[in-house]
Amino acid sequence: MTDTRLSFVHRFEPAPGAGRPPLLLLHGTGGDENDLLPLGRMIAEGSALLSPRGKVLEGGMPRFFRRLAEGVFDEADVRRRAHELADFITEAREAYGLAAPIAVGFSNGANIAAAVLMLRPEALAGAVLLRAMVPLSEPPAADLAGKGVLLLSGSGDPIVPTENAGRLAAILKGAGAAVEHRILPVGHGLSQADVTLAKAWLDSNSAKEI
């Protein structure tokens, strides 16, 4: 169902049963609220799916925050938009009766998810970050104890250097998150390996929750 009543245009699919954490699906540049729903259904059958559309437009393409160039972020906007997204999560949890979600973000969506973890850690239960990079050059001190993060990077990614992804993993680990970082022999696009690994990781984390 598409909903415009809350602060982000979004799609929401309720869980068919209990027992699995909801997913917050965060698209990449040029995607929208429909983009990652098929992925969410594949990797977390039985989870509620909450999928907002980024509010920033770059050449008509939705994003979750502004960038100055490829790989160069407007960090003031990153911070503002991360708080805006965290506030939306609070709204949606109240509206739909949800537990704290696990973010599943791709590219720009993964970067805003990482920023929310750093700035508003209480908003998320954990995250699957697909092709993420460091969103803030000077991240604040955050307490991510008890939160799991799966970071999937591509060794041939022309946009995200593996060194940058490794630095993000180190920042999240340093804040107390349980980070699993896998570097796959792929580029920036998603692969079947991403689906398989994300599903296995979510299955494992859901089992711990029950």
Options 35, 47, 157, 194, the catalytic residue: 157
Interval 104-109 mean pLDDT: 98
Is 204 marked active-site? no
* Domains by residue range for the chain, with CATH: 2-209 (3.40.50.1820)
Handedness of CA 123, 69, 106, 37 (dihedral sign): positive
Q: Which of 3, 7, 32, 188 is catalytic?
A: 188
Reported as a single tens digit per residue, the pLDDT across 45-64 is 999 999 999 999 999 999 99
pLDDT score at 210: 40
Asked whether residue 1 carries a pLDDT value surpassing 70, the answer given is no
Average pLDDT estimate for 108-129 = 98
The beta-carbon contacts of 201-210 under 8 Å, at least 24 apart in sequence, are 201/128, 201/148, 201/150, 202/43, 202/44, 202/47, 202/102, 202/128, 205/21, 205/102, 205/126, 205/148, 206/19, 206/20, 206/21, 206/44, 206/47, 209/19, 209/20, 209/21, 210/19
Known catalytic residue at 27: no
Per the annotation, the verdict on 157 as an active-site residue is yes
**Considering 107, 153, 181, 194, which one is annotated as catalytic?**
107
